[in-house]
Every structure is written in structure tokens, then in C-alpha cells.
Amino acid sequence: MRLTVLGSGAGLPSKERKTQSIILDLIPEINAYFLIDVGEALQHQLLHTNIKSRKINHIFITHLHGDHIYGLPGFLSSRAFQGGENQPLHIYGPKGIEEWLEVTFQISGTHLNYPFYVHEIHDGMTLSVEGYQVDVRLLDHPIDSYLFVFKEPDKEGSLDADKLKEVGIRPGPIYAEIKESNTFEHDGITYNTSEFLGPVTPGKKIAIHGDTRLIKDSEYKRLIENSDVVIHEATFLDNESEKAHEFGHSEIHEVMELFKSLNIDTTIFTHISNRYDENFLNNIKQKLPEQTYIAEDFFSFQVK
Amino acid sequence: MRLTVLGSGAGLPSKERKTQSIILDLIPEINAYFLIDVGEALQHQLLHTNIKSRKINHIFITHLHGDHIYGLPGFLSSRAFQGGENQPLHIYGPKGIEEWLEVTFQISGTHLNYPFYVHEIHDGMTLSVEGYQVDVRLLDHPIDSYLFVFKEPDKEGSLDADKLKEVGIRPGPIYAEIKESNTFEHDGITYNTSEFLGPVTPGKKIAIHGDTRLIKDSEYKRLIENSDVVIHEATFLDNESEKAHEFGHSEIHEVMELFKSLNIDTTIFTHISNRYDENFLNNIKQKLPEQTYIAEDFFSFQVK
């Protein structure tokens, strides 16, 4: 599992930063990518990666501001000519996106050659996508903006061969049969399979925020605590919390302060305003705690 | 007057070519730019030029295929934050664009801080834009696609001081008065001002095509003949005229053949498919006649 920020900018792109797009690479796990938000020029950014657009089968839209969606029509159209034929695609986003895509494709005479489905999201729902649980939570922004918390399925422990040998069962096809059942018999004794399994490996938990003011309620904290990675916006980097709140955004230091108590392994800040120059950003970066990053375009993180 | 191709690609962008956008720089003439088509990432391309988006006050859309319009919402939104406040903007394009922009801005919660007007175009109309005559002609493509022929106003000849001296009028404020009248009197004689003016300088004529099959009718030829610059699509470069026609496009050699008899000063080909590599393109470029170009992104041409 790898996270790549393809567009790390805020509302206005800069030479260095496109607007928001984030890729969750699940090729090793399920041979697919999840794409979160589709800023303008996402299809251009993809040309500089080895990501095949036909393998992006699930798109999650945090909110409908233009810097998070204006790359969607172009991406969907081009995908049709890039091996996407007959490769179904699902879009999960707020009310309005289906109507917009319909009008867009109607006026531009676009006919996709693959089935695509739009799923309207709302606060508190839980999606099940290719075995991943995706919790959806409304954030605090001038228009409805959502958090997605992706939870990978836990991995069952492997069979403990030593323990099985202790009760007289030697390795062989029987091991597969045992693993598939809850109980098994040997020499007239019934055993619970669970007693012969190693520890469960918990699935990774990744929380990706849409634009938002800082949220502090306990339900929110519960959703993101113990995450392996949290991606949060940091439209303000310079202690201007009040201004951040006024415009429906967050300030990086207040977010870090909140996260201290939530046992978050890695924090990635993105949605970086074009008013900060590289010197200013480098200065902030040098003071970040461990496992905390400010993304640039193509920033990539292997989730271990 | 300068023409710059900001996006020279066809339907699918490549690493080297964005989709279609063309700038007609009229800063020296009217302190404004005309923009023809707005492919995705136009606002990103502008960041690599010295063009101020607030000075783009007139946008002409050849047709509604996505590769010609998907950069429009992002450009319009960003312009509001780039000094565009209260700077009116006019869009001339086929039926459907106004509805699309309305839905786009409604779902994305966008409120532009400048007045903008959408003017629906149709075959045969002539627009008058900042003193420029713009003839609009329907081309031949699977959806309505248009040619725009921009005609700069002719420049009146300057007053011939020698001739005026011959009839006894010495330089002074009187010259300005003479120039503003059709006739003037001196020593009891009435003169026609036109007799004292140097030759008229004809305005430049620039023809910019939307996607199209080759057109050959006489009305079309009349529209583009004697142009200073014609921009034409060349989605096919390899003698595949039949295929070009099948998909509603043109093949470069057939276009050049037609243009031979039309007294066109300069021809610029654009809308270059991503299936041609640089070697292939260089080979074609070497065989082009004089004053004939294949555009790349940021190709720029001073119209003399």
C-alpha cells in the first residue's frame, strides 16, 4: 500500500503544485488504485507516473469545490482511450456530482465505453469497497466536505505448523482444509482452528480529509485515532488560525497539536497555498516532528 | 499581434502537449487577449507565460468536445483571484456552454466576482468584438465545430504633410482637425480629406479552425483566402486521409494542397495526436513548405 499526492496545491495551482489529487496504490493488495479527489490536470500528472488509468476503478470525492473535481471529466474521457474499455468505475461523492457529469458528457458529446456508477455519500455512512471498509464523515467547510477513513481487512494469522505437529498432524493438503473450517477432528478429538492460528495482522487505516476547519469532537477523534496515515489539509501554515477558520480551513500547528493525543503513526499535510514560497516551506519542514510531512506534487509514502 | 499555441495536442494530452488552447495577443492593439478554446490545464500553461488572466476578456470556443473546453471552469474560477475582479468577460461558443457553466458553478459553489456573458454562436454570423470583425462558419465534425476568422480594422492612412504644405497648410493643431473631418476649407477652397491621406493599411486576417474534415466549398475558401495566418488542425499527418475523414478530422497534406491556391501567408498546424513521436514529427517538419509550421506547446508567432 502506497500513498502518492499527485496534486498538493490549494485553490489556485502554482507552477510547482497542481490542485488536489491523491492516489492510494492497492496494486499489491487488490490490483487496483483508489483515487481521492481529481484536481484539474490529474490526467497530465498521471503521464509522469506508471499508474494505468484503467486500474483506477474507485474514485472518492471529498467535496465539490473546483480544485477537487475539475480534472474528473478529462480523466474519465481519456480513460476510455487508455485501455479502460469495459473496466467499470465507481465514483463516491456528494450530491450534485452525478448531475454535473451527466450535463458535462451530454454537452461535450462524450460516450464512455465502460460502465460507471455514481454513489452519493452522506455523513455517517460506511462503504464497503473491494473488501475495504470506508467510513464517511462530514467535516466543517462552506460546502459539504467529507473525511474518508479507509480500513484494510485484517489479515488472519497463519497456521502454526509446530502446534499442529504437537497434536500429531503433519504438513499436507489437510492444512488447507483446516484453515477453511472453524473446527476440525483428529484422532477423535475436536479442535478449534483458532487455537492453531498465529496472531491476526490488523489492516492498515488511512484517513484522508477534504478541506475543513479543525474538528475536535470525540466521534471524529475515534474515527481517526490509531491511523497508520492521516492526510490533512494545511491551507494555513503561519499561525493564522483565526483566518483559517474564517475561510473554512485549518492551520498546521493546531492540527499537529490535536493529533499528538491520537496515536497517529504518520501525518501528511497537503492543500498548500500558492502564497508560500519554497524558503518559507523549508523553514516549516525543518521544524516538523518525526513522521510528519508537507507534501509536494508526487510526494509518495509507503505504508508499512 | 502575436499568436501563441498554449496547448497543441489532440484529444489525449501527452507529456509534451496539452489539449487545445490558442492565445491571440492584442495587447499592443487593444490591451487585451483573445483566447480560442480552453483545454484542460490552460490555467497551468498560463503560469509559464507573462499573460495576465484578467486581460483575457474574450473567449471563443470552436466546439464542445472536452479537449477544447475542460479547462474553462478552472480558468474562470482562478481568474477571479488573479486580479480579475470586475473585469468583464465574454464567451462566444456553441449552444450548451452556458448551461454547462451554470451547472458547474452551481454544484461547485462558485461565485465569480466579475460579470460574464455567454454569446451563442451559429453558422454565418459575424461578431463585432472590440473593433474586430469575427466571421463564424460551421465546419464538418461529429458535433458542431466552428471556424473563427478575425479581421482587424483597417488602419487609415496618415496625413500627407507634403501635400498639405503644397496647398499652403503648415503643420499644427489644424492637422488633427483635418483628420477628424471628411472635408476642410482653406483660403475659400473646400478639400476632401481623403485626398491628403496616405494608403490604408489593411487589418490583419487570422483564421482559426475547430476540429474538422477538410472543407472545400467556395464560400469557405473566400472566408480564409488572403489570410495572414491560418491555424488548422492536423490530427492525421501520415497520408491517412480516409481515416481522418472517418473520425471527422483532417490530414495535413490535403490541407496544404488546398491552401496552395488561397494566398495564405502563414499556416500553423496544431491538434497533434499523441501517437506521433518526435522523430516522426521532425521528419514531417523538415518537408514543410516555407511559412508553414507544426505547433508545439508555447509555439509563438509574431503576425507582421
Q: For A95, which residue in chain B has the nearest alpha carbon? A: B107
Q: Does A49 touch chain B (CB under 8 A)?
A: no
Nearest by CB: B108 against A41, A69, A73: A69
Beta-bridge mates of residue A7: A21
Q: How confident is the model at residue A304 (pLDDT cuts 50, 70, 90)?
A: confident
How far is the alpha carbon of B138 from chain A, nearest alpha carbon, in Å? 17
Minimal Cβ distance to A41: which of B11, B41, B48: B41
Whether B97 and A107 lie within 8 Å, measured CB to CB: yes
Burial of residue B48, with CB atoms counted within 10 A of its CB: 0-12 exposed, 13-18 middle, 19 or more buried: exposed
- Measured between alpha carbons, how far is A136 from A127 in angstroms, rounded to an integer? 8
Q: Does B234 lie in the same domain as B130? A: yes
CA distances, A170 to each of A102, A173, A181, B286 (Å): 60, 10, 17, 75
Cβ contact A43–B48 (<8 Å): no
pLDDT tens digits, residue range A92-116? 999 999 999 999 999 999 999 999 9
**Nearest residue to A34 via CA among A76, A67, A4:** A4
Q: Which of residues 233-292 of A touch B (CB under 8 A)?
A: none
Task: Please name every residue paired with B137 in a beta bridge, in sequence order, or none if there are none.
Answer: B147
A21-52 pLDDT per residue, tens: 999 999 999 999 999 999 999 999 999 999 99
- A18, A19, A44, A62: best mutation site toward chain B, by most B Cβ within 10 Å? A44
Q: What is the mean pLDDT of chain B?
A: 96
Same domain for B129 and B259: yes
B232 is in an annotated binding site: no
Same domain, A51 and A122: yes
pLDDT of residue A13: 96
> Domain span at residue A165?
161-196
pLDDT single digits (tens) A183-198: 999 999 999 999 999 9
Q: Among B40, B107, B142, whose Cβ lies nearest the Cβ of A109?
A: B142
Of A12, A44, A65, the CB nearest to B109: A65
Under 8 Å between Cβ of A55 and A88: no
pLDDT, tens digit, for every residue of B127-173? 999 999 999 999 999 999 999 999 999 998 999 999 999 999 988 89
The count of structural domains within chain A is 2
Per-residue model confidence (pLDDT) at position B230: 98
B184/B88 same-domain check: no
Same structural domain, A175 and A134: no
Mutate to test the interface with B, among A40, A101, A144, A297 (most CBs of B within 10 A): A40
B143 HSE (CA, 13 A, CB side):
18
Question: Average pLDDT in the A283-294 region?
Answer: 96
Q: Stretch B114-135: mean pLDDT, rounded?
A: 98
Which residues of chain A lie closer than 8 angstroms to B82, CB-CB? 12
The domain spanning residue A39 has which CATH number?
3.60.15.10
Chain A residues with CB under 8 Å of B77 CB are 66
The answer to whether A64 and A97 have CB atoms below 8 angstroms apart is: yes
Domain boundary residue, one of A137, A170, A196: A196
The answer to whether B141 is annotated as binding is yes
DSSP state letters, B101-148: HHHHHHHTT---SS-EEEEE--TT-EEEETTEEEEEEE--SSS--EEE
Which of the 8 DSSP states describes residue A288? P
Does B186 count as an annotated binding residue?
no
Q: Please tell me whether residues B72 and B190 are part of one structural domain.
A: no
Give the closest-approach CA distance of B66 to chain A in angstroms.
Answer: 6
* Amino acid identity at B35: L
Closest among B148, B156, B137, B133 to B59, alpha carbons compared: B148
pLDDT at B276 over 90: yes
d(CA A266, CA A271): 17
- Model confidence over B49-106: pLDDT tens digits? 999 999 999 999 999 999 999 999 999 999 999 999 999 999 999 999 999 999 999 9
**pLDDT of amino acid B304:** 86
User: What pLDDT, on the 0 to 100 scale, is given for residue B156?
Assistant: 87
Asked whether the beta carbons of A47 and B13 are under 8 A apart, the reply is: yes
Please give the model's pTM, rounded to 2 decimal places.
Answer: 0.93
Quote the ipTM score. 0.92
Which of B25, B37, B67, B228 is labelled catalytic?
B67
Phi, psi dihedrals of residue B156, rounded to the nearest 5° = -60, 145
For residues A211 and A140, membership in a common domain is answered with yes
**For residue B186, what pLDDT is reported?**
92
Instruction: Give the other-Cβ count within 10 Å of A143's Cβ.
Output: 15
Domain boundary, last residue among A169, A196, A223: A196
Kindly state whether B43 is in contact with chain A, defined as any CB-CB distance less than 8 angstroms.
yes
B119 shares a domain with B243: yes
No. of H helices and E strands in chain B?
11, 16
Q: Does A46 share its domain with A186?
A: no
Task: Please give the backbone phi and psi of residue B37, each rounded to the nearest 5 degrees, phi first.
Answer: 70, 150
Cβ-contact B137, B123 below 8 angstroms = yes
Kindly state whether residues B214 and B242 are assigned to the same domain: yes
Q: Which of A138, A172, A196 is the last residue of a domain?
A: A196
Q: Are residues A191 and A263 in the same domain?
A: no
Average pLDDT over every residue of A207-215: 97
User: Which position among A67, A144, A228, A297 bears the catalytic label?
Assistant: A67
Mean pLDDT score across all residues of chain A: 96
Could you tell me where the beta strands, DSSP code E, fall in A181-261?
183-186, 189-192, 205-209, 229-233
Q: Quote the DSSP letter at residue A110.
A: -
Regarding whether B169 and B29 lie in a shared domain, the answer is no
State mean pLDDT over B33-60: 98
pLDDT at B16 over 90: yes
Active site residue B67: yes
Cα dihedral A274, A278, A280, A281 in deg (nearest 10)? 80
